[in-house]
Amino acid sequence: MADYLTLKKSNCKNCYKCIRHCPVKSIRFSGNQAHIIGNECILCGQCFVVCPQNAKQIKDDTEKVKVLLQSGAPVYVSLAPSFAANYKGVGIEAMREALKKLGFFDVEETAIGATIVKKEYEKLLKDEKRDIVISSCCHSINLLIQKYFPTVLPYLADVLSPMQAHCKDIKKRNPQAKTVFIGPCVSKKDEADYYAGITDAVLTFEELTSWLNAEHIELKTERDTEEKSRARFFPTTGGILKTMDCDAEGYTYLAIDGVENCIAALREIENGGIKNAFIEMSACIGSCVGGPVMEKNHRSPVKDYAAIASYAGKKDFDVDMPDSVEIRKSFGIIEKKLPTPTETEINSILRQMGKFKEADELNCGSCGYDTCREKAIAIYQGKAEISMCLPFLKDKAESFSDNIVNNTPNGLIVLNENLEVQQINASARKIMNIRAESDVLGEQVIRIMDPKPFMDVLQTGKDLRDFRTYLAEYNKYVKYTIIHDRDYHLLICIMRDETEEQTARRQKEDFSRQTVEIADKVVEKQMRIVQEIASLLGETAAETKIALAKLKESISDE
């Protein structure tokens, strides 16, 4: 399958919204990026519609159509009847006028092909007496059955789609013609490529609008009054049934829209719960007027249906019915090569996701899968990653943060802006001799600490950092920082117990002071001794001097 839907990788924000809305989970996540799995995708376009970042983009065939226009062949447009809802107030003549300005040879309504198809459906029921007939107008439904419900394939109407029937009719009338379908559906691009030679190219309404804008062509809001237009109801839920006679004896006629509802009906058929029925199936809710490429700004289910109803008539188009063989086609099974894990392998992956027992399987759907088991199977098949489980990531993050909070030597207290304790860790409880956190959670901080620093931080808007204080009631010295988290309206107090450091510092100061005092006493005592010695030495020297003077005098006298 070609890349009709691709991804702008830079835009993908890993939100898993596309998986949540993908009815067949045909999206693989790898390296935090979404990837569409071609052989599983049914091209319903829901991922394109719901992507909040516009990361999904549809293959643009505008240049391909321009090449067709330059080929010299007459290029006809088969215009889907849903145009009446996409381009409000615009009729087929106004569309023909605008499209001819782009270079198209002529424009016809796909509803002509729808008329051919509905007549063939009536023939299947009345002449061939088939048990169950499922409409094959919607290519996404055809792909759904071919890929996921192969046992139901015999019930899928082996009839061309209105697009194909109309384009084939155009080429029958003008063998040189090239055909371009314009509508609200991305899957028609695949249908045109797969059944080559019938529809040469497909444009979406968005592609057409962009082209008209680039050429500065405005659509006139004019409606023609053609009454032969009952098949214009085809793009609405139950629209096929509105055009059919629905009078085949013994049949029940049903209209089902939305892939999930269609899947439920297909399972019912598999189980034998439905018999003798014609079932109109549309992948899009509301049918084609709810198509993925109905321009996003124009979406309004009630107004869109009203626009179609006001434009549709009560009679059929006049068509030349071809032989049945000319408008029949076959459907084959499309294999999906996905490995199937054993129960042991599923349980092993569940354990890696933190799901050790059935009660752990929350089945919350946040990853995009309906159940944890589906997610585990997707992981085994390489379509998903364990990290896509948000509860798992939440528990992992909380466990990681709890390990840090509960094992850090720093005390941590978290308050709300009403100064009520929201969290307190083991280190903070140890500092303040608190037995258990339940003793203080939800209580005012004044019960355990002076609230003034917290109030100052709230009132001034300035964080308090590395503030030292003595908590007399706990006989503890602490240094703390108070931060105001304005986004989450919390006050975070980080405190460090410096009691041992302060005690050691005071002991050191006391020792130093005692040492100085002892030194002063020793010096004082030594000075006293020196003075005493000096005094004694002074007396002895004086006596000696006197004695010597007397001796000198006596010698001099002699």
Q: Residue 441 belongs to a domain with what CATH number?
A: 3.30.450.20
- Does 361 map to a domain? yes
My answer on whether 285 and 208 are in the same domain is yes
My answer on whether 424 and 369 are in the same domain is no
Q: What is the pLDDT of residue 2?
A: 55
Q: How far, in Å, CA of 172 to CA of 193, rounded?
A: 19
- Does 346 map to a domain? yes
- Does 145 map to a domain? yes
My answer on whether 398 and 423 are in the same domain is no
Q: What is the pLDDT of residue 10?
A: 65
My answer on whether 70 and 164 are in the same domain is yes
Q: How far, in Å, CA of 120 to CA of 469, rounded?
A: 91
Residue 345 token pair: 């392998």
Structural domain containing residue 239 = 60-327
My answer on whether 421 and 393 are in the same domain is no
CB 473 within 8 A of CB 480: no
Last residue of a domain, one of 354, 381, 407: 407
Q: What residues in the chain have per-residue pLDDT under 70?
A: 1-2, 9-10, 225-228, 296-299, 392-400, 538-558
Q: How far, in Å, CA of 203 to CA of 181, rounded?
A: 6
The torsion defined by the Cα of 113, 118, 121 and 125, in degrees rounded to 10, comes to -160
As a residue count, the chain comes to 558
CA triplet 435, 439, 443: central angle to 5 degrees? 140
**Alpha helices per DSSP H over 33-132:** 46-50, 62-70, 83-86, 92-101, 111-126
Q: What is the pLDDT of residue 555?
A: 62
Q: What is the pLDDT of residue 443?
A: 93
- Say which amino acid occupies 152: V
SS3 278: strand
- Does 526 map to a domain? no
Last residue of a domain, one of 497, 522, 553: 497
Going by C-alpha positions, the residue among 82, 79, 75 that lies closest to residue 102 is 75
Residue 35 token pair: 């990837």
Residue 87 token pair: 């381009």
Q: What is the pLDDT of residue 188?
A: 96
54: left (phi over 0), alpha (psi -120 to 50) or beta: left
My answer on whether 345 and 297 are in the same domain is no
My answer on whether 445 and 401 are in the same domain is no
Last residue of a domain, one of 293, 327, 361: 327
Backbone angles phi, psi at 496, to 5 degrees: -120, 130
| Cβ count near 280 (within 10 Å) | 25
Backbone angles phi, psi at 253, to 5 degrees: -110, 125
Q: What is the CATH number of the domain that holds 355?
A: 1.10.15
My answer on whether 393 and 479 are in the same domain is no
> Which residue carries 């626009």 as its tokens?
307
**Mode of pairing for the β-strands spanning 411-416 and 490-497:** antiparallel
Q: How far, in Å, CA of 324 to CA of 390, rounded?
A: 54
- Does 65 map to a domain? yes
- Does 54 map to a domain? no
Going by C-alpha positions, the residue among 146, 147, 200 that lies closest to residue 330 is 146
- Does 50 map to a domain? no
CB 228 within 8 A of CB 278: no
SS3 428: helix
My answer on whether 393 and 490 are in the same domain is no
The tally of domains found in the chain comes to 3
| Cβ count near 222 (within 10 Å) | 13
Q: What is the pLDDT of residue 106?
A: 97
My answer on whether 376 and 415 are in the same domain is no
> What is the pLDDT of the chain when averaged over all its residues?
88
CB 421 within 8 A of CB 443: yes
- Does 22 map to a domain? no
- Say which amino acid occupies 291: G
- Say which amino acid occupies 533: I
- Secondary structure (DSSP) of 510-533: HHHHHHHHHHHHHHHHHHHHHHHH
Residue 161 token pair: 């789609």
My answer on whether 96 and 116 are in the same domain is yes
Residue 65 token pair: 């159509």
Q: How far, in Å, CA of 36 to CA of 41, rounded?
A: 7
Per-residue CA distances from 187 to 23, 111, 191 (Å):
15, 18, 6
My answer on whether 403 and 482 are in the same domain is no
